[in-house]
Chains A and B, each alone.
Chain A
Amino acid sequence: MTFSKESIQQAWQQLSYRNVMAEWSLYALFISGFLLWDVIALPWQGVRLLLIIHVVLSLIIFPLYIFPFWVSHRRLLKKSNKRFLRVTGQCLDLVLLACISSGLYLLIQGNRGDEFGYGVFLVHLISALILLPLIIRHSARWSVLKPIWSLSKYVLKLGQ
């Protein structure tokens, strides 16, 4: 079995479009991280499991799914004909960068009490809170959540 340059380029191009795993991974990271927020106040036994899940997911699925998609997808940020997608995409690019770099800092250095650590924590939290709605909106037409929107529309119709 041989891989030609074209086939690799094609796969790379394909990767940059709708990527179900990357999207699911982002949602999984968001939910596992969001539930760690003190405001949610889950019991410790839940928090400790979520914490390790969040960390392990970050370490495994981010490089496996999100990072390749992100890099391959960046091409579209400039080339896309749709302004909305270009703008939200560029915003996402920055927010994701903030979220990932702050997450890496928290993993390696941590938030041990000094002001910088706390600032990084805030960046991670806020960027994640921005990231989620932005992704949902940006990928609305191709989102893995589309069936949910369709279902909710259907339920609303039934209600009327």
Chain B
Amino acid sequence: MIMSVNVITQPFIVFLITFFFSAGVYAESSSSIIEKSDGHAIYSANFDGGSITLINPNALMDRKERVLGKDIRRLALNHDESQLLVSDYVGEKVFWLDSENLTVEHELAIAGRPFGIVHDKQSQLYWLTLFEKGQLLALNQSGDIVFQLDTLETPRGLALTADKRLLVSHAMTGQVSIYDVSVSSQSEEHDKATFIELIKVIQLATVEHEDEFVSQGQPRVLDDIALSPDESEAWLPHLLWNFDHEFQFQSTVFPAISILDLTAGKEKEQIELRKELFKQMNIVDNNNRTQIVSNPHDVEFSADGNKVYVTFSGSEDLVVFDRSRSLKANKKRKKKRSKRRQGKISQGAKVTQILRNLPGDNPRGLLITTSSSSDNSNSVSEKIYVQNAISQDVDLILPGKGSFDKAKVAQTELYKTVISDPLKPAQRRGAQLFNLANNHKNPELPMTGDFWMSCNSCHLDGFNFTNKYLVEKRGENKYSNAILGHGRLNKMIVGDFLADYLRIIQDTQGGMGHDSRDGAITVEPSKPGSDVLAMMTDLHQYITAPENLPRLTTWLRLEDGERRTVHDSEWINSAACESCHSDLYAQWSDSNHRLMGGSNPYYAVLEDVAAATEGEGFRAWCSSCHNPERVLAGKPFRGHQNLMFEQQGQSLKDELAQGKHGAKEGTGCLFCHRITKLEDAGGNAAMTVNLKDRQQYVFENSKNDILNWLGNSQINAKPEEHKKSYSQGFYKDELYCKSCHNEFSPGLGAMIVDTWGEWEASSFNNPEQPEKHKGCIACHMHGDVNKIGEDIPGISTDGGRVKDNVITHQFSGANHFLLGLRNKPLEKMSIDLLKTSAKLEQTVTDNSVQVRVTNVGAGHALPTGVADFRQFWLHLRVEDADGHMVFESGALDGDGHLEKNARVFMKEFGDKEGNPVGLIFWRYEKMLSDTRIPADGYRDEVFKLPTGIKRPLIIRTSLMYRVYPQWVTNAVQKKYPKLPNPEAIELNSLESRH
């Protein structure tokens, strides 16, 4: 009888628990490992294994794996569990799969790094985040996007509550958006207003302490959102970036789990409940030290909600929080405690166990399954599956049975998720090192000190657009320390990468013996042993993987990573474009965008200095913008030809006449027009060039004249595909220019040039009012610099339609001088543009002259770009009543040098000790002075006049400009004697009598 009661009651109890407590009924959370409700199937998204795996946990031989793409991150089942939606994060695709046999039903390429997925059972829609693009998509089950919404930056994790609130975590800004998607179930009109409504944005708190060793910082690297079974709370594992001081491994990155109160309409962060090191996460080891855990990844609640399990992928732990005591404390002992501990706020659930030394590498995914207990005791048994991303397997953990019972590893490597790893062994080992903060893995040569952090703690998922959040808007005091990355580099990484990796690991992460308390051997970076070298070589393999930094010091990438270089002849001679685009060719061929490699003597000298000080490999940092075709063709970074006086691209035309193509200096037609992807990493050529996938006409580039004519005739006759092949939607996006016109020092991370940031903060950036919005091309690619803001009609193709506003290709700008060596009319355009940039006002008091220089024409600082070389200054002359010069400031001496005390508007870079860096600007660590005139801003300069001068006075003030200081030109002329001196030009002047 008892037996039969059990038989009846067990499933009922399981049902009740599942129904009332489990988040699996309506609530959904984005995950990499999920279970079918009947318990007979577990699906895993296998990360960079590129596949998904289906396994029957009751019959492990019953296993299927489907290779889909490059980096499969999340998956979700639909309402009847017949279909799976899967996101490929690097391959930028989503797949709809049959959940039984894993066949692909639909496939859709979606740019912008598709990541989190949940399925709304009621509306039968999948919700998907585009991490890089900042969008939220609703997808139906037939392979279509039905709705697309711009969100705050970096949406990543997703969770859907039973009452239709969709929570979105924003990884790099520490925010959580909450949307009401209840309407989406009924809405047939998929427009923004009726489909989804943003209810609230919660900004997780940034806490700062004077003591940097206390857990603090900006909430970053958010992803998973775990809902408690009763949906009263959401737990969000993340990191705290505490970058406001020099890197030190115990004070730079802290793990945390933020708790949101999900009371409908009153959603808020419960900051006092945030789980932090030394507070709620404070398990002490045998040495009386708090056990450090790092990189919290996935959170899951037990079915009754009493326990919370968290994977820590860095330190490779499973951490258990006990909520039961805190819940009871809140409910039962509220009154009692308030008397006993007046003023003290409950910190909520605390860690009760750190299950250290989990088997496998890089535990990320977490799945808790519930079933009726086999011992007929009316209880429900739970199993915990931990998915290891790097070792590509799943471990089985059994939780403790009560509050004091500990979770235990029941089976190591329960099953392999990936049978055939697409990564090479060395790259896999490198990926492990990049993600590793488990000191027990290699106690003598650990990657970090005391489990604190891994490379991935800051470089999320490797090297990608998230780099922007490391180098931009950090509020650093550049006068005391401009470095936002790793200091003490010997050769800017690329020149001595193995040793510099070691320095970074030691100084930033406390690894490789920097923290030797637990027996680590202190490694001397310049003399590493063979085992250390092997490790660093593996790490290098990962770092230079196609989706990371294949050229190490630059972010320039090629296609989809299937090939490292292009064949030289694939670079079509730009002169071939002249036959149809003669105006644009004429403008470009004399411009600085063409002759900016070996033909720019200043650049050539600086590149040589860079190579001499940092190693030949460092040329790639410069060349990726100045010589990108050669870089991608794997040729020596710079040719030896100097064509600074060549007009109209004659050498290109001559070569074309001989049928010659090949990589050339500067940015040729094909390069700019085959940039197919921008990655906003903060600058440094963060763009992808694709030559192989362009649509070509038969015989288009044939060397045979007749066939070539046939090819061109086809283009002319039916040019639509040609046009499509060389056009991208982002040509008018300022980010396109930012890729090269923003620079940060590799490794050091000091922002050297931030033209984009200056523009972004200016009134020129005004997308809300398009008539006032002026991007880069509005001034620098405009047909008439005296009519900026007006459309200039013209043609871009001979015989083409007249466009309302033609985008010209002369690139008017600050370097008028080199342009003028070849083309005086274009130089005049640049000078005219410079003259529109600033206005002067002067006020004279008894004994002084105040000159105000206002930046009225530039959407960036004056000067910008290489503002450590550009000279803007005031030349002030005062004549007394007899016509004698009684005061002068800003004069050039006979050798062309500007007097030392001149009022110059520029910035000066210094090294760590505060000495000027001179030509070696990439070693900038401190700003010595920055007297530039900001966009929309002004600077006042006051000149004291001598006393006793005979009045009236004639005061003349000129705003002068010279592209390079004389000392730089002198240095360059030693190598290029034909280079003339750039003249100082007067941009504006005032004269008044007092």
Contact = CB atoms under 8 A, between A and B. Distances in A.
Interface of A: 36, 38, 44, 47-49, 51-52, 55-56, 106-115, 117
B714 A51 contact: yes
Contacts of B696: 48
A114 B719 CA distance: 12
B727 to A, nearest CB: 13
B800 to A, nearest CB: 4
B1 interface: no
B698 A51 contact: yes
Contact of A55 (B717, B719, B798, B799): B717
Contacts of B798: 112
B188 interface: no
B715 A110 contact: yes
B799 A52 contact: no
B186 interface: no
Contact of B718 (A109, A111, A114, A115): A111
A45 B798 CA distance: 27
A48 B717 CA distance: 12
B187 interface: no
Contacts of B580: 112
A113 B719 contact: yes
A112 B716 CA distance: 6
Contact of A114 (B710, B717, B800): B800
Contacts of B469: none
B720 A55 contact: no
A47 B698 CA distance: 10
Nearest to B695: A44
Contact of B710 (A38, A55, A109, A115): A55
Contacts of B713: 55, 107-108, 110
B801 interface: yes
B720 A52 contact: no
25 contacts: A36-B718, A38-B720, A44-B695, A47-B718, A48-B695, A48-B697, A48-B698, A48-B721, A49-B698, A51-B717, A52-B698, A52-B714, A55-B714, A110-B717, A110-B719, A111-B716, A111-B718, A111-B719, A112-B716, A112-B719, A113-B795, A113-B799, A114-B795, A114-B799, A117-B799
A64 to B, nearest CB: 17
B969 interface: no
A44 B802 CA distance: 27
Contacts of B799: 109-110, 112-114, 117
B800 A113 contact: yes
Interface in B566-608: 580
Contacts of A56: 710
**From DSSP, what is the main secondary structure of chain A's interface residues?**
helix
A112 B797 contact: yes
A47 B719 CA distance: 12
Nearest to A110: B716
B800 A112 contact: yes
B699 interface: yes
A113 B801 contact: yes
Contacts of B714: 51-52, 55
Interface of B: 580, 695-699, 710, 713-721, 795, 797-802
A49 B718 CA distance: 13
A138 B719 CA distance: 35
Contacts, number: 64
B86 to A, nearest CB: 26
Nearest to B723: A113
Nearest to A108: B713
B192 to A, nearest CB: 30
Contacts of B715: 110
B797 A113 contact: yes
Contacts of A111: 716-719
A110 B714 CA distance: 8
A44 B721 contact: yes
B779 to A, nearest CB: 26
Nearest to A113: B800
Nearest to B717: A106
A106 B717 CA distance: 5
Smallest CB-CB A-B distances: 5 pairs: A110-B716, A113-B800, A52-B698, A113-B801, A112-B799
A46 B684 CA distance: 39
Contacts of B699: 52
Most buried by B among A44, A110, A111, A114: A110
Given A112-B800, A115-B801, A117-B799, A52 B716 contact: no
A48 B695 CA distance: 9
A51 B716 contact: no
Given A51-B717, A55-B713, A114-B802, 13 more contacts: A44-B695, A48-B696, A51-B714, A51-B718, A52-B710, A107-B713, A110-B713, A110-B717, A112-B580, A112-B719, A114-B799, A114-B801, A117-B799
A18 B710 CA distance: 32
Nearest to B712: A110
A102 B718 CA distance: 13
A109 B800 CA distance: 11
Contacts of B710: 52, 55-56
Contacts of A38: 720
Nearest to B796: A113
Contacts of B695: 44, 48
A114 B799 CA distance: 6
Nearest to B581: A112
A120 B836 CA distance: 45
Most buried by B among A108, A109, A113: A113
B457 to A, nearest CB: 45
Nearest to A124: B717
A48 B795 CA distance: 26
Contacts of B717: 51, 55, 106-107, 110-111
Contacts of A109: 716, 799
Contacts of A110: 713, 715-717, 719, 799
Contacts of A52: 697-699, 710, 714
B697 A51 contact: yes
A45 to B, nearest CB: 9
B286 to A, nearest CB: 68
Contacts of B800: 112-114
A135 B716 CA distance: 29
B866 to A, nearest CB: 38
Contacts of A112: 580, 716, 719, 797-800
A48 B721 CA distance: 9
Contacts of B802: 114
Most buried by A among B716, B795, B800: B716
A110 B697 CA distance: 14
A30 B797 CA distance: 29
A129 B824 CA distance: 53
A49 B710 CA distance: 13
B716 A106 contact: yes
A35 to B, nearest CB: 12
Most buried by A among B580, B697, B699: B697
B293 to A, nearest CB: 53
Contacts of A106: 716-717
A85 B798 CA distance: 44
Contacts of B719: 110-113
Nearest to A45: B695
A72 B271 CA distance: 94
Contacts of A48: 695-698, 721
Nearest to A117: B799
B93 to A, nearest CB: 19
A108 B713 CA distance: 6
